[in-house]
Chain A
Amino acid sequence: GAGVSQSPSNKVTEKGKDVELRCDPISGHTALYWYRQRLGQGLEFLIYFQGNSAPDKSGLPSDRFSAERTGESVSTLTIQRTQQEDSAVYLCASSFAGQPQHFGDGTRLSIL
């Protein structure tokens, strides 16, 4: 596609529910990143995928967070047993071989 696509754009759910966020990267981009952005804050790195290499999960805040990516295509970020502090915008970015990252518009997650 023309850019990084994320879905849903908005998600409201109750505390304790699981949520799944999706990211479609730019075709041909080997690297994919997930970030979390709390209101009025900068971006917190969550996880990074590069081709078939083991992902860098060093930014995941707890074992309730997990992510998968199939090859160089779609990625899903899953948050289990959501808590109110998980409320944030979750941004996905993709890039090719160390080039600047291209971002999607994010998923705005609200936990009631």
Chain B
Amino acid sequence: SQQGEEDPQALSIQEGENATMNCSYKTSINNLQWYRQNSGRGLVHLILIRSNEREKHSGRLRVTLDTSKKSSSLLITASRAADTASYFCATGRGGATNKLIFGTGTLLAVQP
């Protein structure tokens, strides 16, 4: 079963706009990660936020985590056509294993 549920399932925006994707999860976590998947390719790790962190930035990416609401959001600012991809959140319980449970993904389309 999927731990995470992304919202929205699909998002279409114009180049230059911001894109916000949300992820909700059910059980306690050690960390939450966001991955990106271009069509026909594997996943690429974007950013990791730990359960004791509330916000993290990486370039045009901003991730927030609210453990009380069991939710996270990924904001992509000043989007580009090249940002078109599926975005997945994944929750981990930490440790050497850190087995991840992935959400169902948000398909982002950035129109040039």
A98 with B96, Cβ < 8 A, contacts A41-B104, A42-B88 known: yes
A105 with B40, Cβ < 8 A, contacts A42-B104, A100-B48 known: yes
Per-residue interface assignment for chain A, residues 40 to 54, with 1 indicating a CB less than 8 Å from any chain B CB and 0 otherwise? 011111001010000
Number of CB contacts from chain A to chain B under 8 A: 58
Say what secondary structure dominates the interface of chain A.
Answer: strand
User: With the chains together, A50 CA to B99 CA distance in Å?
Assistant: 11
User: With the chains together, A44 CA to B105 CA distance in Å?
Assistant: 12
The yes or no answer to B8 lying at the interface (CB within 8 A) is no
- Chain A residue nearest to B40 (CB atoms) is A105
Within 8 A of B (CB), among A13-72: 31, 33, 35, 41-45, 48, 50, 56
Interface size of B in residues (CB-CB distance below 8 Å): 25
Instruction: State whether B94 touches A98 (Cβ < 8 A).
Output: yes
Instruction: State whether B42 touches A100 (Cβ < 8 A).
Output: no
15 inter-chain pairs at a CB distance below 8 angstroms, sorted by A residue, are A33-B99, A42-B2, A42-B4, A44-B102, A45-B102, A56-B97, A91-B43, A93-B42, A98-B95, A98-B96, A100-B33, A100-B48, A101-B43, A102-B45, A104-B42
Please give the residue numbers on chain A whose beta carbons come within 8 Å of chain B beta carbons, in ascending order. Answer: 4, 31, 33, 35, 41-45, 48, 50, 56, 91, 93, 95, 97-98, 100-106
